[in-house]
């Protein structure tokens, strides 16, 4: 355990600064001293995987690792943890690469409602790393720091026992730790350290133009790779590629508001998804622009406190039929409430957006107005299209006659 820095007396109504490393990301917070770690994680950093049950140290829902040891996040004031390394359930595994404990909980049905699951995962991770030789008969006592009210203990013990036996002394570490931007309901800067204020600010604010847009390390929240066949000829598409304003109008919901010079632009994007309405104010930098290739980076802030950063590469190539093959590849990093939306559906929605974009480019290339619809992409139709798409894919797989996806 690291020795924390000393801290001068701070009055009850003032915020105390605290530096933490959370799942490998350095975070600087300013919080009232009475804010618990569990509230800091959930409300100020958007990490809602840590659940809160009793809030006085009985139920174990909020169990996280502090400097590698399990502790109850509701019994710790965040300001006490200056310099500490915190690991939450979000750091344990990735959606497509779960930790062995997560796999095992799934396999053994070690959960019903799932509310206690983050607590059990972190408690059992701590147990198996510190006491790798633990025997099955000791598990009920050793896991007694977390309560399950769905009577799921037998399956939980089965799940932990299987991992204990499979990984004696060699339990894989948390797989989803790395430098990334954490943003909760409060403001944060998008660079490597997120400075989060104690109070939320809902006002639209202009994103400052940075020296450079730095994408977070680690895997993107969404990776999109869409290839579309356009009927327009390559030289017509090149005309669109050469006109940033026209190109922006092809993007559903996007609006270019300011040309900052030197290939930097300011813009707005509105996206509506189901009950969610997001308005991004952002900034984009075109790093490379030629007739057949555009590379750009962008970052934006949602007025609700979320954030997005992306690197987009678009290439146009001549097709055999005289048309153009347009390929769009994007790495999108989401934070805040949209990140919690679910990677899979968010990915599908992004894919649909690029397909709409490709159609708009096709129209623009042939001299038409790129978007007939000046409204933001309507949530309902986007969602319906996404779901219809999925149903079709499933149907194709079922009939097993499907052509390989383009």
Partner 1 sequence: MKAAPFAYVRPGTTADVVAELSRDGSKVIAGGQSLVPVLAMRLGRPTQLVDINAVPELRQLARDDGSLRVGATVRQRQLQREEIGAAVPLVRLALPWVGHREIRSRGTVCGSIAHADPSAELPAVAACLEATMVLTGGRGTRQVAAADFFTGALSTVIEPDELLSEVIFPVAKPGDGFGFGEFARRHGDFALAGVAVRVRTSGESVDARLTCFGVSDVPVSVDVSPHLRSALQMTGPQPSRADLVSALAEHTEEVAEDVVSTGGDSHASPAYRRRLISALAAREVSRAYVSARLSRPEERS
Question: Kind of pairing, strands 293-302 and 25-32?
Answer: unpaired
CB nearer partner 1, residue 131 or residue 205: 131
CB nearer partner 1, residue 33 or residue 233: 33
Residue 157 CB contacts under 8 Å (≥ 6 apart), including other chains: 136, 139, 140, 143
Binds partner 1 (CB under 8 A): choice among 26, 57, 390, 392: 57
CB of 54 to partner 1, least distance (A): 7
Among 50-58, 150-158, 267-275, 362-370, the segment contacting partner 1 (CB under 8 A)? 50-58
CA–CA dist 32, 13 (Å, integer): 7
CB of 136 to partner 1, least distance (A): 16
Per DSSP, helices labelled H in 37-79 are 37-39
CB nearer partner 1, residue 145 or residue 234: 145
Site for partner 1 in 345-404 (CB under 8 A): none
Site for partner 1 in 107-126 (CB under 8 A): 123, 126
CB nearer partner 1, residue 38 or residue 228: 38
Among 60-68, 148-156, 217-225, 337-345, the segment contacting partner 1 (CB under 8 A)? 60-68
DSSP string, 251-297: STTEEEEEEEETTEEEEEEEEEETTEEEEEEEEEEEEEE-SSEEEEE
CB of 143 to partner 1, least distance (A): 9
Whether the CB-CB separation of 23 and 49 falls below 8 Å is answered with: no
CB nearer partner 1, residue 33 or residue 295: 33
Give the chain's radius of gyration (CA, Å): 24
Site for partner 1 in 128-157 (CB under 8 A): 130, 141-142, 144-145
Among 30-38, 85-93, 271-279, 374-382, the segment contacting partner 1 (CB under 8 A)? 30-38
CB nearer partner 1, residue 26 or residue 131: 131
CA–CA dist 284, 329 (Å, integer): 16
CB of 171 to partner 1, least distance (A): 16
CA–CA dist 180, 27 (Å, integer): 10
CB of 42 to partner 1, least distance (A): 13
Binds partner 1 (CB under 8 A): choice among 19, 24, 33, 379: 33
CA–CA dist 376, 374 (Å, integer): 7
CB of 76 to partner 1, least distance (A): 7
Whether the CB-CB separation of 152 and 112 falls below 8 Å is answered with: yes
Whether the CB-CB separation of 60 and 145 falls below 8 Å is answered with: yes
Among 70-78, 203-211, 213-221, 360-368, the segment contacting partner 1 (CB under 8 A)? 70-78
Whether the CB-CB separation of 57 and 72 falls below 8 Å is answered with: yes
Sign of dihedral through CA atoms 256, 262, 264, 266? negative
CB of 15 to partner 1, least distance (A): 10
Whether the CB-CB separation of 145 and 63 falls below 8 Å is answered with: yes
Q: Which two tokens stand for residue 278?
A: 């997001």
Question: Kind of pairing, strands 25-32 and 194-196?
Answer: parallel
CB nearer partner 1, residue 60 or residue 307: 60
Question: Which phi and psi (to 5°) does residue 384 adopt?
Answer: -60, -45
DSSP state of 94: B
Binds partner 1 (CB under 8 A): choice among 30, 79, 159, 160: 79
Hunting for tokens 């623009």 — which residue is that? 364
CB of 152 to partner 1, least distance (A): 17
CB nearer partner 1, residue 126 or residue 331: 126
- 34 belongs to the binding site for partner 1 (CB under 8 A): yes
CA atoms within 13 A on the CB side of 127: 27
Among 59-67, 89-97, 108-116, 323-331, the segment contacting partner 1 (CB under 8 A)? 59-67
Site for partner 1 in 3-22 (CB under 8 A): 3-13, 16
Binds partner 1 (CB under 8 A): choice among 19, 43, 77, 215: 77
Tell me which residue of 185, 170, 324 sits closest to 241, measured CA to CA: 324
Residues that bind partner 1 (CB under 8 A): 1, 3-13, 16, 32-34, 36, 39, 54-57, 60, 63, 66, 69-72, 74-77, 79-80, 82, 123, 126-127, 130, 141-142, 144-145
């Amino acid at each position: 355990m690291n020795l924390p820095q000393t801290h001068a007396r701070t009055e009850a109504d003032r915020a105390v600064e605290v530096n933490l490393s959370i799942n490998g990301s350095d975070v600087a917070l300013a919080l009232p001293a009475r804010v618990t770690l569990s509230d800091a994680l959930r409300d100020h950093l958007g990490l809602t995987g840590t659940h809160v049950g009793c809030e006085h140290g009985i139920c174990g829902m909020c169990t996280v690792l502090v400097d590698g040891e399990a502790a109850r996040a509701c019994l710790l004031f965040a300001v006490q943890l200056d310099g500490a390394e915190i690991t939450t359930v979000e750091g344990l595994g990735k959606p497509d690469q779960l930790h062995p404990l997560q796999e095992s909980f799934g396999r053994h049905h070690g959960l019903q409602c799932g509310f206690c699951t983050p607590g059990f995962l972190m408690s059992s991770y701590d147990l198996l790393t510190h006491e790798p030789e633990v025997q099955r008969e000791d598990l009920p006592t050793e896991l007694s720091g977390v309560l399950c009210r769905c009577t799921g203990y037998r399956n939980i013990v089965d799940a932990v026992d299987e991992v204990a036996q499979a990984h004696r002394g060699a339990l894989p570490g948390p797989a989803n730790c790395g430098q990334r931007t954490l943003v909760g309901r409060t403001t944060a800067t998008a660079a490597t350290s997120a400075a989060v204020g104690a109070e939320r600010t809902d006002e639209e604010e202009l994103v400052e133009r940075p020296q450079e847009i730095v994408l977070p390390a680690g895997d993107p929240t969404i990776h999109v790779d869409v290839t579309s066949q356009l009927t327009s000829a390559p030289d017509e598409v090149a005309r669109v590629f050469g006109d940033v304003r026209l190109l922006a109008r092809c993007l559903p919901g996007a609006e270019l508001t300011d040309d900052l010079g030197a290939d930097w632009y300011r813009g707005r994007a509105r996206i509506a998804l189901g009950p969610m309405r997001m308005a991004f104010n952002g900034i984009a930098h075109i790093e490379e622009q030629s007739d057949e290739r555009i590379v750009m980076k962008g970052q934006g802030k949602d007025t609700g406190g979320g954030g997005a950063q992306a690197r987009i590469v678009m290439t146009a190539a001549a097709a055999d039929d005289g048309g153009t093959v347009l390929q769009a590849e994007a790495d999108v990093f989401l934070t805040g409430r949209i990140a919690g939306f679910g990677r899979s559906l968010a990915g599908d929605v992004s894919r649909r957006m690029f397909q709409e974009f490709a159609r708009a480019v096709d129209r623009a290339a042939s001299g038409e107005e790129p978007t007939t619809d000046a409204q933001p992409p309507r949530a309902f139709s986007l969602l319906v299209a996404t779901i219809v798409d999925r149903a079709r894919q499933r149907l194709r797989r079922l009939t097993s006659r499907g052509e390989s996806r383009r």
